[in-house]
Amino acid sequence: MKSLVCMKVAPKVDQIKFDEVKKTIVREGVENEINEADKNALEAALSLKETHGGTVTVISMGPPSFEPYLRLAVSMGADDAILLSDRAFAAADTFATSRVLAQAIKKVGLFDLVFCGEASSDGSTEQVPSSIAEWLGVPQITYANNIKIEDSKVVGRRVITGGYEIIESQLPVLVSVELGANTPRFPDFRRKRWADKEFKLTVWNIQDLGLNPNDVGLLGSYTIVKELKSLPAPARKGEFVTGSPQEIAKKLAQVIKASA
Ligand SMILES: Cc1cc2nc3c(=O)[nH]c(=O)nc-3n(C[C@H](O)[C@H](O)[C@H](O)COP(=O)(O)OP(=O)(O)OC[C@H]3O[C@@H](n4cnc5c(N)ncnc54)[C@H](O)[C@@H]3O)c2cc1C
pLDDT (tens digit per residue) in 109-118: 999 999 999 9
- pLDDT-derived band at 28 (thresholds 50, 70, 90) equals confident
pLDDT tens sequence across 49-81: 999 999 999 999 999 999 999 999 999 999 999
Quick one: which H or E segment has residue 227? none
Alpha-carbon dihedral angle through residues 26, 27, 29, 32, given to the nearest 10 degrees: 130
pLDDT tens sequence across 201-255: 999 999 999 999 999 999 999 998 899 888 888 888 788 889 999 999 999 999 8
Closest by CA position to 145, among listed 161, 162, 129, 157: 157
- Maximal CA-CA distance, the chain: 75
Closest by CA position to 73, among listed 64, 82, 63, 61: 82
Say yes or no: CB of residue 129 within 6 Å of ligand 1.
yes
Range of the domain at 6: 2-215
Share of the chain above pLDDT 70, in %: 100
Residue 235: predicted pLDDT: 83
pTM for the structure as a whole: 0.89
Residue 140 placed within a domain: yes
Share of the chain above pLDDT 90, in %: 84
pLDDT tens sequence across 80-125: 999 999 999 999 999 999 999 999 999 999 999 999 999 999 999 9
Residue 226 placed within a domain: no
Letter string b/e over residues 198-211, b meaning 16 or more CB atoms within 10 A of that residue's CB: ebebeebebebbeb
Say yes or no: CB of residue 202 within 6 Å of ligand 1.
no
If one counts the domains in the chain, the total is 1
Closest by CA position to 42, among listed 7, 84, 71, 11: 7
Which of 25, 27, 59, 136 should be mutated for ligand 1, with most atoms under 8 A from CB?
A: 25
Summarize the confidence of residues 37-56 as an average pLDDT: 98
Between CA 229 and CA 20 the distance in angstroms is 9
> Ligand 1 centroid to 169 CA: how many Å?
26
pLDDT exceeds cutoff 80 at 260: no
Residue 229 placed within a domain: no
203-210 own/partner pairs: CB under 8 Å, 24+ apart = 203/64, 203/82, 203/83, 203/84, 203/85, 204/82, 204/83, 204/84, 204/85, 204/104, 204/107, 205/84, 205/85, 205/86, 206/86, 206/88, 206/89, 208/107, 209/84, 209/100, 209/103, 209/104, 209/107, 210/103
Residue 187: predicted pLDDT: 96
Say yes or no: CB of residue 100 within 6 Å of ligand 1.
no
Residue 45: predicted pLDDT: 98
Between CA 225 and CA 121 the distance in angstroms is 18
Residue 224: predicted pLDDT: 86
Burial of 28: CB neighbours in 10 Å, binned 0-12, 13-18, 19+? exposed
Residue 223 placed within a domain: no
Whether cis (ω within 30° of 0) applies to the bond prior to 11 is: no
Phi/psi-derived region of residue 157, left when phi > 0, alpha when psi is between -120 and 50, beta in every other case: beta
- Cα-based angle 193, 86, 127 (whole degrees, multiple of 5): 90
Residue 222 placed within a domain: no
Residue 234 placed within a domain: no
The DSSP bridge partners found for residue 34 are 9
Residue 245 placed within a domain: no
Q: Tell how many helices (H) and how many strands (E) occur in the chain.
A: 7, 13
pLDDT exceeds cutoff 90 at 142: yes
Q: The domain that contains 93 carries what CATH number? A: 3.40.50.620
pLDDT exceeds cutoff 90 at 259: no
Kindly give the interhelix angle for 128-136 and 94-108, rounded to the nearest 10 degrees. 50
Residue 79 placed within a domain: yes
- pLDDT-derived band at 23 (thresholds 50, 70, 90) equals confident
Say yes or no: CB of residue 217 within 6 Å of ligand 1.
no
